[in-house]
Amino acid sequence: MRRVRRLLTMALLCSATVANAQEFAESVCERALRDNGGVIDPLALRSAALKGVSYETLDYDNDGTPTASEIFRALTMDAVDFCTVKSANVAGRAIKCEDGEEMALRKADGRLSGFWLGNGTIFTTAVLSSPTNDDRNERRGLAARPWAPLLDERARFAKATCRPSGDEVPQATARNLADTGAPDFLLGKDIDSLTVSRAGDGRDRLAKVTPAEIAFTSNNAADTRTFAIDAVAGLRIADSATFKFIPFLQYARSEIRDRASGTTELTGKFAGGAVSTVIFGYDQIDLTPLYARDLKSKAEFLTGRIAWRPGFLYVMKGFNNAWHFACKRTALGRCEFGNGLAVWTDFQVIGSVGSVLDKGNDPTAIGGKRYARLGPSGALHLYGLSGLAEDMSLDITYKRLFRLSGDTKPVYAFKADVSYWIAGSEHVSLTTGYERGRDEETLELTDEWKVALGIRF
């Protein structure tokens, strides 16, 4: 109970932070209505967001003069990434942000995230033009934040206009103005696919998302054919630097047809729930209540899931952002953008508690009516950015939840997939791989080689 109270306290504190950020949006609009007919000046928005950020912090290449592009980068790049990969100076000595500088950048990001929550209520946005590939190469942060186009100092891509007090407020229409950042609609294979980072540019952006699958498997030895669907679809209705909320539906269905006997076996589940994500410092905690129904036994489950991504890992390259290697390098020793290979890792500690509401037509399926489990989950994503491996990726995940009480069957999952991303798409792939494991709720066993069509958003 003490831990639960601590988590609730953290959530309330984060909600208060978001509220302060919305006050920032109102103050920006107050100035715009007074001085510019309600149109928000990108330079004024930048300046207000950067309150407390030093001149030296913004100087990304350490040449003594922060340019407009460097300022744009500071406001659209993750603070950890910005501070970790700041260029080497002339003497070749790496210059990184001090702790206070990094925190100032995180506050600036929080102000802009809270500002974006006012889209459609405090202010409205209009798309002026779509960024070209050259624009995105010059300003890579255009794909990193939904509000990034509003920060372009030449106001080429979007415009925000504040609503005078008393205007009718329509339904909020917050979205990514560049149509390339993290979307409101999310699609992946499992709950973890909803909560992994979708930050970064180019192929880095969705690299951690395990795609939803439509799979077909043929076992000639056993003379069986299997058709399967495995997907989780969510809608992110709250998104700030400190709090995210995603209601979702999950559907997993495997239909095995035995051609010799003429029989068909159906397994899988239908589930619904919501993920509340709390971020404090570098730590991320996901709280997920979930209802699930087994398609085979008709058993019903009610579970609570908590996942922790530990901050002491996510300050490191490869966890917080992708690590690029085997690439052509610039004169300053960094990988050229979009070149070589990249690897991105993920690690969580997962705890789950639950109760079987109805044992359905198979009372032996669950050994304990109430259960609790705890264990680690890790993933490695290796993918190409250029050359022969440009459209290929290798994804390996492993999860093991140990029994604390209740049922005695182990809960685990191992997956190894090789994917070809069709025509360079970041959304659609052809995948072949092996998967073996037992579902967290229904305890149904999976052991199969597969060929699948993968889809992720």
Q: What is the CATH number of the domain that holds 206?
A: 2.40.128
| 265 within domain boundaries | yes
Confidence class for position 140, pLDDT limits 50, 70, 90:
confident
The distance from CA 116 to its chain's CA centroid, rounded to whole angstroms, is 18
Element (H, E) at 121: none
Residue 118 has a pLDDT of 75
Range with the poorest average pLDDT among 79-88, 214-223, 269-278, 356-365: 79-88
| Residue 193 and residue 122 in one domain | no
List, in order, residues 6 or more apart from 231 with CB less than 8 Å away: 187, 188, 189, 212, 213, 250, 251, 252, 455
Using DSSP, state whether 24 is helix, strand or coil: helix
Residue 212 bridge partners (DSSP): 455
Q: Does position 85 have pLDDT exceeding 90, yes or no?
A: no
**In angstroms, rounded to a whole number, what is the distance separating the alpha carbons of residues 370 and 381?**
35
| Residue 288 and residue 362 in one domain | yes
| Residue 9 and residue 129 in one domain | yes
Burial annotation 226-257 (CB, 10 A radius, 16+ → b, else e): bebebbbbbebeebbbbbbebebebbbebebe
| Residue 196 and residue 111 in one domain | no
**In angstroms, rounded to a whole number, what is the distance separating the alpha carbons of residues 10 and 18?**
13
| 346 within domain boundaries | yes
Range with the poorest average pLDDT among 14-23, 115-124, 142-151, 233-242: 14-23
Instruction: Give the mean pLDDT of the chain.
Output: 80
Instruction: Supply 160's token pair.
Output: 């925000």
Confidence class for position 94, pLDDT limits 50, 70, 90:
very low
| 307 within domain boundaries | yes
Per-residue pLDDT, averaged over 274-284, amounts to 89
| Residue 213 and residue 95 in one domain | no
The residue from 162, 193, 218 where one domain ends is: 162
Q: How many helices (H) and strands (E) does the chain have?
A: 9, 17
**In angstroms, rounded to a whole number, what is the distance separating the alpha carbons of residues 148 and 140?**
10
| 167 within domain boundaries | no
In 189-281, beta strands by DSSP E: 212-219, 224-235, 238-239, 243-258, 263-280
Angle of helix 99-116 versus helix 2-35 axis, rounded to 10: 70
| Residue 358 and residue 435 in one domain | yes
Using DSSP, state whether 321 is helix, strand or coil: coil
**In angstroms, rounded to a whole number, what is the distance separating the alpha carbons of residues 215 and 254?**
9
Per-residue pLDDT, averaged over 406-417, amounts to 85
**In angstroms, rounded to a whole number, what is the distance separating the alpha carbons of residues 148 and 160?**
12
| 174 within domain boundaries | no
Range with the poorest average pLDDT among 129-143, 189-203, 281-295: 129-143
**In angstroms, rounded to a whole number, what is the distance separating the alpha carbons of residues 279 and 321?**
16
What's the domain count of the chain? Answer: 2
Per-residue pLDDT, averaged over 65-71, amounts to 82
Instruction: Supply 260's token pair.
Output: 């010799």
**In angstroms, rounded to a whole number, what is the distance separating the alpha carbons of residues 317 and 282?**
13
| Residue 335 and residue 426 in one domain | yes
Query: Are residues 454 and 211 in contact, defined by beta-carbon separation less than 8 angstroms?
Result: yes
| Residue 287 and residue 211 in one domain | yes
| Residue 147 and residue 191 in one domain | no
| 172 within domain boundaries | no
**In angstroms, rounded to a whole number, what is the distance separating the alpha carbons of residues 170 and 114?**
18
**In angstroms, rounded to a whole number, what is the distance separating the alpha carbons of residues 388 and 277?**
38
DSSP states of 363-390: TTS-S-SEEEEEEEEEEEEEEESSGGGT
| Residue 216 and residue 149 in one domain | no
pTM of the predicted model as reported, rounded to 2 decimal places: 0.62
| 86 within domain boundaries | yes
Query: Are residues 376 and 348 in contact, defined by beta-carbon separation less than 8 angstroms?
Result: yes
**In angstroms, rounded to a whole number, what is the distance separating the alpha carbons of residues 446 and 438?**
6
| Residue 121 and residue 24 in one domain | yes
Element (H, E) at 355: strand 341-358
pLDDT tens sequence across 109-127: 888 887 887 777 788 888 7
Instruction: Supply 362's token pair.
Output: 């198979």
Q: Give residue for tokens 């610039």.
A: 330
Rg for the chain, CA atoms, rounded: 24
DSSP states of 135-185: HHHH-GGGGT-TTGGGG-TT--SEEEEEPPTT----------TTS-S--SE
| Residue 424 and residue 288 in one domain | yes
The residue from 119, 147, 162 where one domain ends is: 162
Range with the poorest average pLDDT among 167-171, 199-203, 433-437: 167-171
Per-residue pLDDT, averaged over 288-300, amounts to 91
Burial annotation 404-432 (CB, 10 A radius, 16+ → b, else e): eebbeeebbbebebebebeeeebeebebe
**Residue 276: domain span:** 185-455
| 245 within domain boundaries | yes
List, in order, residues 6 or more apart from 270 with CB less than 8 Å away: 249, 250, 251, 292, 293, 295
**In angstroms, rounded to a whole number, what is the distance separating the alpha carbons of residues 318 and 372?**
31
